[in-house]
Amino acid sequence: MNETLKLGLILLLICSISAVVLAGTNNITAAKIEEADRQANDAARKEVFPDASSFKPLDENELKKLISSNSEIIEIYEAYDDSDNLIGYTFKTATGGYGGDVQVITGISASESKITGMKVVSHSETPGLGANSTKEFFQERFIDKPVDKELVVVKTSPTKDNEIQALTSATITSNAVTKGVNIAREAYETQLAK
């Protein structure tokens, strides 16, 4: 009995020390991880909306209103040109894919009402299949698509301007990415288009 109590106390001590070390490591690295995520998102916004020279977060009240109607919207930024004119928006969305959430940043031009670009910024999809959604050849399929029609995934070559050709053997991922873009498109059309 005494030996069992001694082993239990040793195990408790080891677990306590491990918890303190992990908490300390988290405190040290959390700010660096957050900064790296912010920089990656800034770069993605610039990539999906190359004509913009700066980005500002959407008004907090407007954002809450949009998120209340669709919880898959994570953030929205306004895109501005060199003269500080609003030229469009970027939307970050998260939808369910094959391996978990697929986070997508979509750019939409206010003057042309077209998609300026799309980038998958986070996913847990299958390497070599769904992970191909991060490849340029797939992401380019969304550029210049109109925002007034819902985008649909097709398995063959697109014949209409609102069709996106699916990744081979990865239709779940293709649908998740397209759903994220459609969420951005719909939020723009119903709430932000002037």
User: How many C-beta atoms lie closer than 10 Å to residue 15's C-beta?
Assistant: 10
For residue 81, the SS3 value is coil
Task: Report d(CA 151, CA 31) in Å as an integer.
Answer: 37
Token readout for 139 is: 């992401």
pLDDT tens string, the chain, 194 residues long: the values are 688 888 888 898 899 898 888 888 888 888 887 778 878 888 889 999 999 999 999 999 888 888 888 889 999 999 999 999 999 999 999 998 888 888 999 999 998 999 999 999 888 767 767 777 888 899 999 999 999 999 999 988 888 999 898 887 668 888 999 999 999 999 999 888 76
DSSP state of 166: P
- The pLDDT, as a whole number, for residue 194 is 64
Best CA proximity match to 100, nearest among 121, 122, 119, 118: 122
* C-alpha Rg value of the chain to the nearest Å: 22
